[in-house]
Amino acid sequence: MARTIAIVEDDPAIRANYVDALRRQGYEVSAHADRPAAMAAFAIRLPDLALIDVGLGDEPEGGFELCRSLRAMSARLPILFLSARDSDFDIVSGLRLGADDYLTKDISLPHLLARVAALFRRVDALTAGSPGEEVLERGELRLDAKRFVVSWRDRPVDLTLTEFWMVHSLAKFPGHVKGRDQLMRDAQLVVDEATITSHIKRIRKKFAAVDPGFDRIDTLYGMGYRWTSDGA
Partner 1 sequence: MALRVRLRTKLALVSLVLLIVPWTGYRYIVEMERFLLEGQQQALLATAKAIATTLHEKPALMRLTTPLRAPRQETDAATDGSAPVETAIPVPADMGQSADRDASREDESLAELLRGAERSNVRLWIANREFKILAVAGSLKPAEADGEPGRWQRLLAWLIHPPARDFDDAFDEDMLAAGPEVTGALLGAGGTRVRNTRDDRAVVVSAAHPIWAADNVVGVVVAEETTNPILSVKNEALGRLVILTLAALGAVGLFLLGFASRLSARIRRLRDEAESAVDARGRIASLATASTAGDEIGDLSRSFSTILGRLAQHHAYLESLASRLSHELRTPVAVVQSSLDNLRMEGVSPQAAVYVERAGDGLTRLSRILSRMSEASRLEASLVARERERYDLSTVVGNCTEGYRLAYPAQDFVLEVPGFPVMVNGSPDLAAQLLDKLAANAADFSSPGRPIRVALSAAAGRAVLAVANNGPCLAEGTAGKLFDSMVSIRPGGGEEPHLGLGLYVARLIAEFHGGSIAAENLPGRDGVAVVVTLPTAP
List the one residue from 20, 134, 158, 230 that touches partner 1 (CB under 8 A).
20
Is 214:207 a contact under the CB 8 Å cutoff?
A: yes
Report if residue 85 touches partner 1, rule: CB under 8 A: yes
Q: Determine which residue in the list 2, 128, 209, 220 makes contact with partner 1, applying CB under 8 A.
A: 220
Choices 19-27, 33-41, 118-126, 157-165; region in contact with partner 1 by CB under 8 A: 19-27
Residue type, 147: R
**Which one of residues 192, 209, 215, 232 is an interface residue with partner 1 (CB under 8 A)?**
192
The residues, ordered by sequence, that sit 6+ positions from 199 with a Cβ below 8 Å of its Cβ are 162, 163, 166, 187
Task: Indicate which single residue of 1, 13, 72, 75 sits in contact with partner 1 (rule: CB under 8 A).
Answer: 13
CB of 96 to partner 1, least distance (A): 16
Residue 104 or 188: the one with the smaller Cβ distance to partner 1 is 104
| 141 to 49, 58, 108, 167, 171: CA distances (angstroms) | 29, 45, 31, 10, 9
The count of residues interacting with partner 1 (CB under 8 A) is: 32
**115 belongs to the binding site for partner 1 (CB under 8 A):** no
In angstroms, what CA-CA distances link 9 with 14, 56, 97, 109, 180? 8, 7, 18, 15, 30
Phi and psi torsions of 198, nearest 5°: -75, -30
Whole-number Å distance between alpha carbons of 123 and 48 = 9
Using CB under 8 A as the binding rule, whether residue 193 contacts partner 1 is answered as yes
- Smallest separation (angstroms) from partner 1 to the CB of 154: 31
74 binds partner 1 (CB under 8 A): no
**11, 52 Cβ separation under 8 angstroms:** no
Which spans of this chain sit near partner 1 (rule: CB under 8 A)? 11, 13-14, 17-18, 20-21, 24, 84-89, 104-106, 108-110, 179, 190, 192-194, 197, 219-224
